[in-house]
Chains A and B, each alone.
Chain A
Amino acid sequence: MELCFEGLVKNYGRKQALKGIDLTLTPGIYGLLGPNGAGKSTLMNILTGNLEQTRGRITFDGRDIRALGPAFRGRLGYCPQQPAFYPTFTADEFLFYMASLHGMDRKAAKARIPWALGLLSLARVRHEPIGGFSGGMKQRLLIAAALIHDPDILVLDEPTAGLDPEQRIAVRNLIGRVALDKIVILSTHVVPDVEFIAKELILLDRGQVLCQQTPEALLKAMAGQVWSLTVDEDQVEAAQSLGQVCGIARAGDQVAIRLLTPTPPKGAVEAASTLDDVYLRFFGPEAGL
C-alpha cells in the first residue's frame, strides 16, 4: 500500500499554497507539522477531494486517486478540523449515517458502531443529540466516524483539538493502536501528539516540504544544538541574544534558559533536545505566534 504525492501544486489566484509537494507514504503514522498557512489543510483537502489541485497528482498503489474515484474514497477515513455533523442527529444515528456514506451494510455497521463508541467512551451518550455534546465529545465522535469503516488511509486534521490531557493521551494511544496497517496522516500543531507514535514527521512550510524524517533522526540531528544556561535575573535579556530561546524557567534564585544555537554559549551545558526544539529550529520563533 503506497500513497504518493507527485509534484502537487495548488494556487489560490496568484498565491501559491503548495509549491510542488513530493511525498511517498506507506503504512504507518505520519505527523504533518507546520505553522499556520504552511499548506497542511490544503494538502489534506486535496487528498480528501475537497479541493482540486492546480498541478500534479496523488496516486494510490500507482493509480491516480481521481481515476479511482469512489474506490479510493471508500478506503479513506477523514476527521476534519471543524465540527462536521448534524446537530439533531444522535451519536448513534450519525455513525449509522456515516456507515451508509461509506457503503457499509447494516450488519457490519451494527457490529462496528458499538466498538467505535466504546473505544471513544461515547457509548453512554449514543442516543443523545450531538448538538448537546461538549467540544471533546464532538471531537471523539468525529474520530469514531473516521474509523467506522476501517479505512486503509486515515486523514486526521487536528484530531486532539478541544480534548483534555487525559483524552488527548487516550486518543493518541488509540491512533497508535489502530494505525498498525494503515497510512495515517495526522496534521497538528501540538508536537507531543505525534512525538511517540509517528513513523515519520513531515515538516511543511510555505507550501514546501522542509524534511521528512523519523523523530529519532530529527532528534539526532539536533545534537549540539540545544543548550541550558543558568543566569541571574538581570542577565536574562543579555542571554536571550545568544540564541533562539526554547524555554525560560526559574531555578532557585536564578533563571534557567534553554537556547537553540549551534555555538555553545559560555557556561552553558548541552540539554536533551525535544521535537519542540526541532519545530522551533525549522519554523523559527515567529511560528509560535
Chain B
Amino acid sequence: MRYEWKKLLAQVQICLLLLGVLVGNGIWFFLRCTQDLGGYTMAQIRQVYAAPDTLEADIALLEDPTAAPPLRYTQRPWAELALLTVARDRIAAARDYDAFRQGLVDDAALKERLGLLGPADSFEARSLKRGQAAYEALAGVTPEPVFQGGMEVLLTDRGMDLALGVAVLAGALVLTTLERRSGGMVLSRPTRRGRAALFRRKWAVLACLTGAVWAALLLTDLAVAAGTLGLGAWTQPIQGVYGFEACPAPLSVGGYVAIYALWKLLWALSWAGICLAAGCATGSPILAVLALAAMLGGAWWAGESGNLWLRVFSLTRLARLEELVQSAAYLNWMGTPISRPWTALAVLAGMGILSTLTGLGLFCFLPAVPRKFRWSLPLPRAPRHTNLFLWEGRKLFRTQRAALLLFLLALAQVASYVPRGAENTEYGYFYRMYSQILAGDPSPEKDAYLTAEAARLEELTSAFAAAPWDTELYGQLAAEQPFREAQEQYRALKPGQRYLDQTLYRAYFGQEGLRDGLWDLGKAFFVLSLALAGLYPAERESAMTLQLTASGQTRRVRRYKTLWTGILALLTWAVGTLPRLLWAVWTYGPPDLPAQAGAIEGFAWLPDFVSVLALLLSAQLAGLALTVLAAWIVTAFSRPAPTPVPALLLALTVTELPILLLAWGIG
C-alpha cells in the first residue's frame, strides 16, 4: 500500500490540488457563513437571538413611519426590519413547533376523514397515515429557540460535496490510469489474482484518502462554523434548526450531525467506487472524466425530475441528505409507502459496492496495457502535407479528440435548446400582443391606443364587478396586468428610446438566461479542459520532445499549438454559447438592434449611445473572452504537467468550480 500512496503523493501537482481543495473549501464555507442575506448576515441574526425581548417593540417602531427607527444591528432601516422579521419568524418557528406539528397531524387526519386521497389502502392514503403517525410520535419534542445558524449553513452546504468529489476523482484517476498507460501493470501483477490484490490496495488507498479528505473538510467546516456562528446546542431536537421543522425523525442536532457526517463519507466512497470503475474501464483520464461527466449529467437530470424514485437514484441528489429528512414523503413500492432515507442509504451503498466490484472486474479482465490500436475518430485519411501548422491542428482535433468533443458539445446544445419552446403563459401571450402594437418609437397613435385600451379594460373591470360570475369577462380581464406592464414600460421611455418587447431580452439577460449562459460556459470550459489538458503532456509522454528539440522547431510548434488553442476556444465558444442566442431569436423574434439598450429591463443605467446591437455584441465578446481565458488557464496547467491527469484535474477545478458556484448562487 505504501507504493500506491507514493504513486499518488509523489506528484506535486496532485498534492497541490488536494491542498487547494481543502483551503478552497475553507474559504468558501467561511464566505457562506458570513455572506450577505439581503442586508444582514447570519451573525447578526445570532445577535438578535441574544436579545429577544426588544424584538417586537423594535419591529413596531420600524414599521411606524413616524417613529425613529432603532438601528441596533444594521445601518439601514429596511435591512434592520428584514433582519428582525427573519429572527422573529425563526424564534416563533421553534416556540410554536408543537402547534406546527399538531397542525400537520390534524391536516392529515382531515384529509383522511374527507377521503381526499382515495381509498384507505391506496399509496397516498397509506403514506399520509404513516406521516401522521411519525408526527404524532414527535409529541413532546419541544425545541428551544436557540440560534443554530452554524449548523444550518453546515448541513445545507454544497461546497464539501464538490471538494470531496474533486479529491476523490484525483486519487482514482492517478491510481487507475497511470500504470495502465505506462505498461507498469505487466511488470508488477501479471495474473488476475495478482491484479485483484493490487486493486484491493488501490481501493484501500483511495478509501483512506477519501476518509482523510472527508475528515479534514468536516473539521474545517466545523471550525469555521464554530468561529463565525457558533455550533449551537447539539442536544436540542433537529426540528429546532431552521428548515428542519417538518423533519419526521426524532433526532437531536448532534445525532443528525453524526448521521450527516457518515452520510457524506458513504457518498464519497460510492463516488470513489464509480471513479475507480470509470478509470479501469477507459484507462484514460480524459475518457474517464468524459464518462463520469455523462453519468453526472444523467444523475443531474434524474435529480431534477419530479419523480422521487429517479431522485433517489441520482448521485448528485443523494448528496443532499437534508432533502430526504426535511419532510415525511415516502416512495411508492407497489402501493406500499417506504422510507426515502433508508432506501437512499441502500441505493448509495449498493452503488458503491456495485461500482467497486465492476472496477475490480474491469481491472482484472481488461488488458494490462492499453490496446495496441488506440481509438480515434474514423475520419477519412487526410491528404499528406508538410504544413506543420496543419499537423498541430491534427494533433489537437484528432489525437486529443477535440473534434469529437466539439461534436458532443454541439449535440448537447441542440438537445438543450431545440426542444425548448417559448414561454407559454396567458400573461406572456397578452404582454407580447401589446408589445407588438407598441414596438418601436412612441407615437400619438400609440398614445391614443393606450388610452382607448385602458378605458376598455376599465369598463370590463366595472362590468365584472357587477357580474362576477361572468367567465368571459374574467377571461378578458386576464389582459389587464400585462397591459399595465406594457403601458408602464411605454410611459417610462426616455427621449430617443424605442419600445422593446422584453420577452427576448428577459430570456437572454434575465435570471434564467444568465444561469443558462453560465451552464453553457461551463460546458465549453469542460470541453476545453478535456481537449487541451493532454496537449502538452502528449509530447512528453511520447518522447516527441526529443525530436522536436533536435529539429529546432520547439518554439514554432508551441506557437502553432497556441494558435490552435485560440481556434479551438473560438469554436468552443461558438458551439457552446451561440445556440442560446439563436434559440432566443428563433423563439421570440429578432432583436431591435439599432434601439437604445437602456430600454431593456435592468439596463436603464446604460448611456444613450449604447445600442441593443452593442449590448449583444459585448455580451458575446465577454463570453468569448472568458472562453479564451479558460483555454489559457488549461494550457498553463498542461504545459508543465508530466501527464494529463494533474493538468485535467487542476483545469477542471479552476474553470468549473466558479461556474458551478455562480450557477447555484443565481439559482
Contacts and interface: CB of A to CB of B under 8 A. Distances in A.
Interface of A: 48-50, 69-70, 72-74, 76, 78, 80, 82-89, 92-93, 96-102, 104-106, 109-110, 127, 129, 131-132, 145, 155
Contacts of B551: 73-74, 76, 78, 98, 101-102
Given A48-B550, A100-B388, A88 B543 contact: no
Nearest to A76: B550
A86 B542 contact: yes
A23 B398 CA distance: 45
Given A48-B549, A48-B550, A49-B549, A86 B384 contact: no
A88 B543 CA distance: 14
A50 B386 contact: no
27 contacts: A50-B546, A50-B549, A70-B552, A73-B553, A74-B551, A74-B552, A76-B551, A78-B547, A80-B550, A84-B546, A85-B544, A86-B538, A88-B374, A88-B376, A89-B399, A96-B384, A96-B386, A97-B391, A99-B386, A100-B387, A100-B388, A101-B551, A106-B385, A127-B381, A131-B373, A131-B374, A132-B373
A74 B553 CA distance: 9
Interface in B349-396: 372-374, 376, 381, 384-388, 391, 394-395
A73 B550 contact: yes
Given A88-B376, A132-B372, A132-B373, A101 B547 contact: yes
A105 B385 CA distance: 8
B555 to A, nearest CB: 10
- Choose among B544, B546, B550 the residue with the greatest number of A CB atoms under 10 Å from its CB: B550
Interface in B24-73: none
Given A73-B553, A76-B550, 17 more contacts: A48-B546, A48-B550, A50-B550, A70-B553, A73-B550, A73-B552, A76-B551, A84-B546, A84-B547, A85-B547, A86-B399, A101-B548, A109-B384, A109-B386, A129-B373, A131-B372, A132-B373
B384 A110 contact: yes
A84 B388 CA distance: 17
Nearest to B398: A88
Nearest to A51: B549
A101 B385 contact: no
A110 B551 CA distance: 19
Contacts of B394: 93
Contacts, number: 94
Nearest to A109: B386
A98 B374 CA distance: 21
For the residues of B in contact with A, the DSSP-based class is: helix
Contact of A84 (B384, B391, B543, B553): B543
Interface in B393-428: 394-395, 398-399
B485 to A, nearest CB: 59
B384 to A, nearest CB: 5
A106 B557 CA distance: 18
Contacts of B372: 131-132
Contacts of A88: 374, 376, 398-399
Contacts of A85: 542, 544, 547
Contacts of B549: 48-50
Given A49-B552, A69-B552, A131-B373, A145 B547 contact: yes
Given A92-B384, A101-B388, A131-B372, A82 B543 contact: yes
Q: What are the 7 closest A-B residue pairs judged by CB atoms, nearest first?
A: A73-B552, A84-B543, A100-B386, A48-B550, A78-B550, A132-B372, A101-B551
Contacts of B542: 84-87
- Choose among A74, A83, A96, A97 the residue with the greatest number of B CB atoms under 10 Å from its CB: A97
Nearest to B386: A100
Contacts of B376: 88
A50 B373 CA distance: 29
A250 to B, nearest CB: 36
- Choose among A72, A83, A102 the residue with the greatest number of B CB atoms under 10 Å from its CB: A102
A87 B542 CA distance: 8
Contact of A96 (B385, B395, B538, B546): B385
A105 B249 CA distance: 77
B386 A80 contact: no
A96 B390 CA distance: 11
A80 B601 CA distance: 65
A274 to B, nearest CB: 33
B469 to A, nearest CB: 76
- Choose among B395, B399, B538, B546 the residue with the greatest number of A CB atoms under 10 Å from its CB: B546
Contacts of B386: 96, 99-100, 104-106, 109
A131 B386 CA distance: 22
Contacts of A86: 395, 399, 538, 542, 544
A72 B550 CA distance: 10
Nearest to B371: A131
A69 B545 CA distance: 17
A129 B374 CA distance: 8
Nearest to A49: B549
A135 B199 CA distance: 29
A100 B391 contact: yes
Nearest to B388: A100
B374 A100 contact: no
A102 B548 CA distance: 10
Contacts of A93: 384, 394
B293 to A, nearest CB: 23
A50 to B, nearest CB: 5
A87 B374 contact: yes
Given A73-B550, A88-B399, A101-B553, A80 B385 contact: no
Interface in B516-567: 538, 542-553, 557
Contacts of A49: 549-550, 552
A131 B391 CA distance: 18
Nearest to B400: A88
Contacts of A99: 386
A98 B547 contact: yes
Contacts of B399: 86, 88-89
A50 B398 CA distance: 27
A170 to B, nearest CB: 23
B544 to A, nearest CB: 5
- Choose among A69, A101, A109 the residue with the greatest number of B CB atoms under 10 Å from its CB: A101
B365 to A, nearest CB: 21
B395 to A, nearest CB: 7
B383 to A, nearest CB: 9
Contacts of B548: 101
B653 to A, nearest CB: 28
Contacts of A127: 381
Contact of A80 (B374, B391, B546): B546
A26 B545 CA distance: 28
B547 A83 contact: no
A226 B372 CA distance: 48
A72 B552 CA distance: 9
Contacts of A132: 372-373
A145 B546 CA distance: 13
B390 to A, nearest CB: 8
Contacts of B391: 96-97, 100
A70 B554 CA distance: 10
A88 B400 CA distance: 10
B385 A100 contact: yes
A213 to B, nearest CB: 28
A212 to B, nearest CB: 24
Nearest to A145: B547
Contacts of B374: 87-88, 129, 131
Interface in B424-480: none
Nearest to A45: B546
A247 B364 CA distance: 46
A167 B376 CA distance: 31
Contacts of A105: 386
Contacts of B557: 101
A89 B376 CA distance: 10
Nearest to A99: B386
